[in-house]
């Protein structure tokens, strides 16, 4: 029954795995639950899945018709929410509207590289326009948005996609930043012309006047599954910068950095209020982790997180192996989209589609960050001096783990 359509229109393979990326014909688990449960049960389930923001279910926001028309015409998922904070007597609310874009590539990976890049840029135009028309203040794109995620192949020709931080795609986005008075976070493959033309996985931060505020280079480079990124670029050398923009203090934890709690922590220690996690990750590898890690980081660090994953299955001209004994293959598996927001009070938004391009927008009152710091006191109760002491010991070649052995244990020499 491979390729059959189920009752919801999803294309299934044997075993119920959706070949089209849908979950039994639905865009997301949330949609499936919404359609399958009685309304009062769904309301209760939502409370458990998404948490409560200021004691209430997350609100949605009205979007302008001009933006919803773009989403229908260009067939992208479009959702919008609102995270509130409690009213304070001494501070005004600090409202910011934030957008995340997820997308598939547009042309086959066998097309000329420039055509591939320009086709993605064209595809993004109406989505960025929809964000602009909706009054988004800060917009973040997905990891290496201007190219296929070819780092599974180990082939070096893909390095041709790399650009300096003021290159073509930055210039393309600078026009939108100026037009819509919008900060744009643009994760690209960077070629550093001043340092031997080396390559980095970099997020360029474009200010709302179209200026380049700065850049951050991916700190943690994966060596897992088909993610052979260390063939292309090394661990970043830009630390954990927080960029103070017209709309709030933002930082970027690029993809695999989300598995490293200390990476999240460092952005928090530098004062981030919103951390973006532009990603490229596939279902079989990481999907059970996706709804947990960013949400946990938002809780532990009292900031908002915007998580973005690309969409679709990308196939490459030459097959490659994964070093796991399985047959060689030419595609990476399904990039499962599902971009979403997490808030410091443990609430989160539903996620975008698992298989369609999408724009998710959320209003957030940044006052919530301090309110959660005051409530839970994680910064105050952390024992940084203990951790610092452990790290300085751990880094020594003769480090011995602090283990107290039960004297009753019969130790056999290992
Ligand atoms: N792009 C990237 O770092 N992917 C690694 C896999 C993962 O972190 O899920």
Task: Dump pLDDT digits (tens) for 168-223.
Answer: 999 999 999 999 999 999 999 999 999 999 999 999 999 999 999 999 999 999 99
The residue behind tokens 């000329």 is: 112
Task: Tell me the pLDDT tens digit for each residue of 68-112.
Answer: 999 999 999 999 999 999 999 999 999 999 999 999 999 999 999
Task: Tell me the pLDDT tens digit for each residue of 352-403.
Answer: 999 999 999 999 999 999 999 999 999 999 999 999 999 999 999 999 999 9
pTM of the model: 0.96
Q: pLDDT value at position 1? A: 35
Distance 334 CA to ligand 1 centre (A): 13
Is residue 325 very low, low, confident or very high in pLDDT (cuts 50, 70, 90)?
confident
The answer to whether residue 143 is catalytic is yes
Is the CB of residue 278 below 6 angstroms from any atom belonging to ligand 1? no
In this structure, the residue with its CA closest to atom 1 of ligand 1 is 280
Task: Tell me the pLDDT tens digit for each residue of 136-174.
Answer: 999 999 999 999 999 999 999 999 999 999 999 999 999
Distance 56 CA to ligand 1 centre (A): 33
The residues pairing with 313 across neighbouring beta strands, listed in sequence order, are 334
ipTM of the predicted structure? Answer: 0.99
Q: pLDDT value at position 57? A: 95
Buried b or exposed e, range 336-367, using 16+ CB within 10 angstroms: bbbbbbbbbbbbbbbbbbbbbbbbbbbbbbbb
Is the CB of residue 226 below 6 angstroms from any atom belonging to ligand 1? no
In this structure, the residue with its CA closest to atom 5 of ligand 1 is 256
Distance CA 360, CA 172 (A): 21
Long-range (24+ apart) CB contacts under 8 A made by 61-64 are 61/361, 61/363, 63/134, 63/361, 64/133, 64/134
Q: pLDDT value at position 295? A: 98
Is the CB of residue 30 below 6 angstroms from any atom belonging to ligand 1? no
Is residue 2 very low, low, confident or very high in pLDDT (cuts 50, 70, 90)?
very low
- Residue 379 has which token pair? 């910064």
Task: Tell me the pLDDT tens digit for each residue of 272-324.
Answer: 999 999 999 999 899 999 999 999 999 999 999 999 999 999 999 999 998 88
Nearest to 45 by CA among 362, 290, 299, 350: 350
The answer to whether residue 117 is catalytic is no
Distance 228 CA to ligand 1 centre (A): 10
Distance 69 CA to ligand 1 centre (A): 33
**Angle in degrees, CA 407, 408, 412, rounded to 5:** 90
Out of 152, 218, 293, 369, pick the active-site residue. 218
| Residues 214 and 206: beta-carbon distance below 8 Å | no
């Amino acid at each position: 029954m491979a390729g059959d359509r189920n009752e919801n229109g999803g294309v299934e393979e044997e075993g119920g795995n959706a070949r089209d990326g849908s979950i039994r014909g639905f865009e997301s688990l949330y949609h499936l639950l919404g359609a399958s449960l009685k309304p009062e049960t769904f309301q209760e389930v939502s409370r458990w899945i998404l948490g409560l923001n200021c004691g209430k279910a997350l609100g949605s926001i009205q979007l302008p018709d001009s933006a919803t028309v773009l989403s229908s015409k260009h067939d992208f998922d479009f959702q919008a929410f609102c995270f509130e904070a409690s009213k304070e007597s001494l501070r005004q609310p600090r409202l910011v509207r934030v957008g995340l874009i997820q997308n598939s590539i547009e042309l086959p990976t066998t097309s000329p590289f420039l055509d591939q890049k320009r086709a993605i840029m064209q595809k993004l135009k109406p989505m960025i326009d929809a964000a602009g028309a909706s009054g988004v203040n800060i917009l973040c794109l997905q990891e290496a948005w201007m190219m296929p995620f070819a780092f599974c192949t180990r082939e070096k020709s893909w390095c041709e996609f790399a650009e300096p931080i003021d290159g073509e795609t930055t210039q393309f986005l600078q026009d939108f930043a100026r037009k819509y008075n919008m900060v744009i976070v643009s994760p690209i493959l960077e070629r550093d012309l001043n340092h031997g033309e080396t390559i980095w996985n970099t997020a360029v931060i474009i200010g709302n006047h179209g200026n380049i505020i700065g850049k951050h280079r991916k700190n943690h480079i994966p060596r897992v599954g088909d993610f052979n990124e260390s063939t292309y670029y090394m661990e970043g050398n830009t630390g954990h910068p927080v960029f103070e923009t017209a709309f709030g203090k933002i930082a970027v934890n690029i993809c695999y950095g989300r598995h490293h709690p200390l990476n999240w922590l460092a952005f928090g220690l530098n004062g981030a209020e919103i951390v973006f996690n532009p990603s490229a990750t596939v279902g079989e590898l990481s999907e059970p982790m996706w709804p947990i890690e960013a949400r946990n980081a938002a809780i532990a660090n009292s900031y908002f997180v915007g998580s973005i994953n690309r969409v679709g299955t990308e196939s490459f001209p030459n097959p490659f192996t994964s070093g796991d004994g399985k047959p060689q293959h030419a595609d990476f598996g399904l990039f499962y989209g599902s971009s979403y927001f997490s808030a410091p009070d443990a609430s989160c938004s539903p996620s975008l589609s698992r298989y369609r391009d999408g724009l998710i927008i959320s209003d957030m009152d940044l006052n919530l960050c301090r309110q959660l710091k005051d409530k839970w006191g994680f910064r105050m109760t952390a024992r940084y001096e203990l951790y610092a002491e452990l790290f300085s010991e751990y880094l020594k070649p003769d480090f011995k783990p602090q283990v107290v052995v039960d004297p009753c244990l019969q130790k056999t020499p290992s």
